[in-house]
Amino acid sequence: MQFVVTAYDGKDEGAYERRMSVRPQHLENMSKLNENGHVICAGGMTNSEGKLIGSVLIMEYESREQLDDYLANEPYVKANVWDDIRVEKINVVIANGK
C-alpha cells in the first residue's frame, strides 16, 4: 500500500530549532527506509522565506499498521517536531520519471 504523509511542524518558538537538532537522525532513518524500499518520495515543505515547516512523504508499506509503527519511531515524532500529521492512501502512477 502507498501512503502520503503530510506532517506540519509545531508553530511554537523552539519548533525550528528542534527540527534542525533532530534532522541528522531523521535523514539517516529516511536513508535506511529508502534502502528497504519504503520511500517513494520525500521532501521538506518550506515557507515563503525558504525555512522548513514540515514534510511530505510518499511511503510504501504492506499495511497502515506498519506505517504507524514507522511513525511511532520517527525521530521528528519522538522529538515533537511534527505537530500535525495527516495520512492518506495514495495510488502512485508516476515516480522518478517512470
So where are the chain's domains? 2-90
pLDDT in tens, 77-88: 999 999 999 999
**What are the C-alpha distances in Å from 94 to residues 2, 20, 35, 55?**
13, 31, 19, 20
Residues paired with residue 89 on neighbouring β-strands, in sequence order: 3
Task: Give the pTM.
Answer: 0.91
CATH tag, 2-90: 3.30.70.1060
Q: What pLDDT does residue 22 have?
A: 97
Contact assessment for residue 30 and residue 42, using Cβ atoms and an 8 Å cutoff? yes
pLDDT in tens, 38-78: 999 999 999 999 999 999 999 999 999 999 999 999 999 99
Q: For residue 78, which phi and psi values (nearest 5 degrees)?
A: -60, -30
* Residue 98 in this model has a pLDDT that exceeds 60: no
Q: Bigger pLDDT: 95 or 11? A: 11
Q: What pLDDT does residue 95 have?
A: 78
